[in-house]
Amino acid sequence: MFIQIHMLQSMPPGNLNRDDIGQPKKCIFGGVTRSRISSQCQKRNIRLSTEFKDAFGDARTVRTTYLPRMVADELKEKRNGISEDDLKKIKDALAGKFKTEKGEAKKGEAEKGEAEKGEAEKGEAKKGEAEKDQTGQLVFFPPPFAKEIANLILDLRDNKKDVFEAWVNGTKKEKVTHKEDKKHKKAIEDAIEEFEKAMSEKSESLTVDIGMFGRMTTSDLVVNVEAACQVAHAISTHEAIIESDYFTAMDDKNSEFAPTQTKKKAAGFMGAGETVTFFNSAVYYKYLNLDLDALKEHLSWKDNAAVENAASVLVRAAALANPTGKQNSFAAHGIPELILVEVSKTKRPISYANAFLKPVDDVNLMTGSAKALSAYINTVAKAFAPADMRRVLMALGSASVDAKIEEAKTVDTLDALVGSVVQLLKEVAHEQRP
């Protein structure tokens, strides 16, 4: 089973997802500049949404570089006599299983180049201490992973002391000539390999968000997972312009303490340089899909009830989870006025972004966007749509004026949309039975 979600969402002025210079992210599409919300931004907000939390509770991942620190903390709590020296070695051994990401390495080089030699040396020393607590790359871990790794380490120390010592101290590179020494070294290496394999197997226990959004690392300690869910960068359906907010603030005590009448009425602070806030507003086209068969396989689910629940949670979260960037300054909380969900047995992902290859220029951008989307689906996209595709459409407000999508069941609430999606999944699953 395969589900595709298309949305049109108008977002008021804000800076939801900014780039390296503080401006709202953008891209060129159809020859003009579009506002953009990155895929990774949307996935994070879905993963951390109230909908995901309510549905999956603590059975969600932690994305962090601090696995060595977390394992060390678990070992300390167990009070099993592991020395501080061994804890440092354990953290080093775990951190060594992960390569440093290129971005972090370049950042470190740049920071070093900007500092004086003496300060750089101090910084490197402090950085070295910090790196013992970190893996060097962000990785998704299931909640009990650190505790399970700590248990494996304790078991190794208690039952195979020589293997534990070899693991925390690193394998020796010097040549061994004596036959018995070679045999012993090979036994140690095999035991370490078996131990690290056991650690890796603990990462095979997946949570729903890992199953959906995948996990990629350069470490053999953690199993890579191919994402069952694809999320496109959201783009504006029209040309977008970036504006700036010149920030000023008044001093509440100016009228009381300022020495002159001019200063009594003057601003206490006037923005300049980094204090300028950039923003824009846009109607976004959002697209994501979910391969339910892949998700079911990732999580070893035996029935379709869990699959239907995961799909319904994703639809709801995608509709309600907004980016958090600069929200305290803008409160840019918009809701989708059009959501189209497509369900099919055939896995044939099709984004309808090309409906907006020509930028929408209507006075009402939402109405124009809904019209362009409907026209594209009813003409171009239908030539490629799977014969078994079923659709459910929620089009509200301005989006409802020209949203006429062929063979789509229409609903007028999010709850009804989610309920219809679950029903379609049941029907599709029933059709698959022999």
pLDDT in tens, 375-385: 999 999 999 99
- For residue 172, what pLDDT is reported? 53
Q: What is the mean pLDDT of the chain?
A: 87
pLDDT at 374 over 70: yes
Strand (E) or helix (H) holding 424? helix 414-432
Q: What is the pTM of this model?
A: 0.85
- For residue 100, what pLDDT is reported? 64
Nearest in space to 51 (alpha carbons), one of 269, 312, 354, 231: 312
Question: Which range is least confidently modeled, 116-120, 218-222, 256-260, 293-297?
Answer: 116-120
Rg (CA), the chain: 27
Backbone angles phi, psi at 192, to 5 degrees: -65, -40
Residues 140/215, Cβ–Cβ less than 8 Å: yes
pLDDT at 196 over 70: yes
pLDDT at 269 over 80: no
Alpha-carbon separation of residue 291 from 39, 307, 417 (angstroms)? 17, 10, 19
CA atoms within 13 A on the CB side of 372: 25
Confidence band for 180, pLDDT divided at 50, 70 and 90 = low
DSSP 8-state code for residue 433: -
Residues 184/203, Cβ–Cβ less than 8 Å: no
- For residue 58, what pLDDT is reported? 76
pLDDT at 115 over 80: no
Share of the chain above pLDDT 70, in %: 88
- For residue 137, what pLDDT is reported? 86
pLDDT at 433 over 50: no
- For residue 251, what pLDDT is reported? 83
DSSP string across 335-386: -EEEEEEEEESS------GGGGSSPP--SSHHHHHHHHHHHHHHHTGGGTS-
3-class SS of residue 234? strand
Kindly state the average pLDDT of the residues 199-203: 89
pLDDT at 117 over 50: no
Residues 244/278, Cβ–Cβ less than 8 Å: yes
Name the CA dihedral angle for 14, 340, 215, 78, rounded to a multiple of 10 degrees.
80
- For residue 114, what pLDDT is reported? 46
- For residue 51, what pLDDT is reported? 95
- For residue 120, what pLDDT is reported? 44
- For residue 175, what pLDDT is reported? 52
- For residue 29, what pLDDT is reported? 98
pLDDT at 119 over 80: no
Kindly state the average pLDDT of the residues 134-146: 87
Kindly state the average pLDDT of the residues 355-361: 98
Please count the other Cβ atoms lying within 10 Å of the Cβ belonging to residue 347: 14
pLDDT at 3 over 60: yes
CA distance 108 to 124: 9
pLDDT tens digit string along 60-75?
A: 888 899 999 999 999 9
pLDDT at 434 over 50: no
Helix axis angle, 145-159 to 161-169, nearest 10°: 120
Looking at the DSSP bridge assignments, the partners of residue 280 are 14
- For residue 345, what pLDDT is reported? 94
Residues 394/413, Cβ–Cβ less than 8 Å: yes
**Domain boundaries defined on the chain:** 2-59+282-432, 63-206
pLDDT tens digit string along 312-347?
A: 999 999 999 999 999 999 999 999 999 999 999 999
Helix axis angle, 84-95 to 67-78, nearest 10°: 150
Most trustworthy range by pLDDT among 160-164, 187-191, 416-420:
416-420
SS (H, E, C) 128-145: HHHHCCCCCCCEEECCCH
Kindly state the average pLDDT of the residues 86-95: 91
